[in-house]
Chain A
């Protein structure tokens, strides 16, 4: 096609009158949008979701939370006499702090832009008051630097995130179940040992870091983070004299596209803390991002069943895999299908995005619940690749509840306690 022809077409388009009903649609759409601004919570949430940079930050924050939830166990990954000493030392510390450098590359889901994010954080954890994390994030793609403070306040059962540059803060509630779990993890070292005994690791022998003689331990067992990652390598170096952790090196594939690599260092043990340090500081010019009705996903059997039900309704099947990152990959397809349906139903952008958030939350409960089963070494097994909603009597998910006893969720999402013998029969 030559330039003249293209120019004729372009000129033709330019000469078209804008139909009266189009002007009317434009005015109505603009009016509707303005009206929705009088409902700040929805718009704020939508804004957060739509801003790709914020999506990246949220994704990074979710990953960090997952890692941090797993980290308190890390020094206890030991069955040797040496690491038992480490455990004893760590147990004595009512509060400790550390620094963390992380590099996250790739995309959480295929349809999201790939991130290249460097994060440096200072974290302080108190058994009594919770956790405070100050994080600087540098987006290598844009060079933009963002800061974020995150507070976990077990007493109020909330996570508070403050984003000073965006002049926003958000509070997310978490459940009693999660509070109980965090307390158990922080306060009962025997529980930690029990969890970590199941993780395969090797001893690396002695080395030296900054003039300090250290002993190294390494694991490539994904169970160390509750099976939430793909390939993983975690190396722990402890001071040969004090038996306190000095350095942790981590390299993990979060999914096929996304990788996370970093170090945790500058530990300070048994630091004096004041409750005030853990109380969220929210600048006056920050506005609340209300995400009413949206809480952190539950990690219970009931919530997981609701999640399975929803996936089956949306796709006619169950997720193939249930670890967090694989499930997020599958969510991409689920969400695309959902968005397509919603678009066909002429839902507004706001309605579509709100619906997507509501959809994601129960589905994430599946992963959260599965993660607790892995961490608690309940021998979970999941058969979503072969079992669907029509396989009423087939085992979809099972886990150990006591010696010789298992809990089973079947293909029709009914649940039952069975003996080990009965389970063997069901699984064969």
Chain B
């Protein structure tokens, strides 16, 4: 695709999706610095894959871009090994009560950034964007049962990740 054409499509795409992307990324990061960094990664990814964002599957792709940008921003923040500080990963019920709500949310956000792609998209659509299973299944390109399964598996993964340091 020629540069001028790519730029033209990008302008349309970013006008349409910047608000949506900002909403998803803010909920995923909850932190201004992380958000700005993830936003830059997401825009760059949109630029690279702009051709895939022209048709009706664009929303699904935007979720992928957002999750990928979020993971990258978190990785840069925390380090290549992806380890989070012990005080934040202590997440048993007792520990959870001690931690503030914001800190727990931070741990959950971090763990979402490490979920497999489909589970990540499913959990973001279901809880962060509060979509119904019909919409999730259409966006993910699977059955409603499949959508439920992905959400359940994501919850299970989050639960096990957060229980590691119990």
Contact = CB atoms under 8 A, between A and B. Distances in A.
A316 interface: no
A11 interface: yes
Contact of A30 (B14, B26, B48, B108): B14
A10 B44 contact: no
A34 B7 CA distance: 8
Interface in A1-30: 1-3, 5-7, 9-16, 18-19, 22-23, 25-27, 29-30
A11 B2 CA distance: 43
Contacts of A50: 44, 48
A47 interface: yes
Interface in B36-67: 36-37, 39-41, 43-44, 47-48
B96 A5 contact: yes
A18 B155 contact: no
Nearest to A50: B44
A30 to B, nearest CB: 5
B101 A26 contact: no
A29 B48 contact: no
A349 B41 contact: yes
Given A1-B163, A13-B27, A18-B26, A25 B105 contact: no
A204 to B, nearest CB: 45
Contacts of A287: 2-3
Contacts of A46: 44
A167 B6 CA distance: 13
B104 interface: yes
B138 interface: no
A349 B158 contact: no
Contact of A34 (B11, B25, B91): B11
Contact of A111 (B22, B80, B128, B158): B80
Contacts of B128: 10, 13-14
Residue with the highest number of chain B CB atoms closer than 10 Å, among A6, A23, A34: A6
Contacts of A5: 93, 96
Interface residues of B, number: 48
Contacts of B48: 47, 50-51
B162 interface: yes
Contact of B108 (A6, A23, A167, A285): A6
A43 B48 CA distance: 11
A18 B159 contact: no
A47 B105 CA distance: 34
Interface in A141-172: 167
Contact of A13 (B3, B7, B39, B109): B109
Given A3-B159, A14-B127, A37-B7, A26 B39 contact: yes
Contact of A25 (B1, B35, B41, B162): B35
Interface residues of A, number: 39
A11 B101 CA distance: 12
B35 A22 contact: yes
A3 B30 CA distance: 21
A40 interface: yes
Given A6-B155, A23-B19, A33-B44, A14 B39 contact: no
Contact of A26 (B18, B37, B92, B129): B18
B35 to A, nearest CB: 6
Contact of B92 (A1, A3, A30): A1
Contacts of B80: 111
B55 to A, nearest CB: 21
A10 B127 contact: yes
A386 interface: no
B7 to A, nearest CB: 5
A343 interface: yes
A37 B47 contact: yes
A33 B22 contact: no
Interface in A39-71: 40, 43, 46-47, 50-51
A285 B123 CA distance: 42
Contacts of B30: 13, 16
Contacts of A349: 37, 40-41, 44
B127 A13 contact: yes
B108 A26 contact: no
A239 to B, nearest CB: 50
B135 to A, nearest CB: 14
B109 A33 contact: no
B134 interface: no
Interface string B1-20: 11100010011001000110
Interface in B134-166: 155, 158-159, 162-163
A37 B10 contact: yes
B19 A26 contact: yes
16 contacts: A1-B92, A1-B96, A1-B162, A12-B101, A13-B30, A13-B127, A13-B128, A16-B26, A16-B27, A18-B23, A30-B18, A33-B43, A37-B47, A46-B44, A47-B48, A349-B41
Given A5-B96, A34-B10, 5 more contacts: A14-B127, A18-B22, A33-B43, A167-B1, A349-B37
Closest 10 CB pairs of A and B: A26-B22, A10-B127, A33-B43, A14-B128, A30-B18, A29-B39, A349-B40, A18-B26, A14-B127, A22-B26
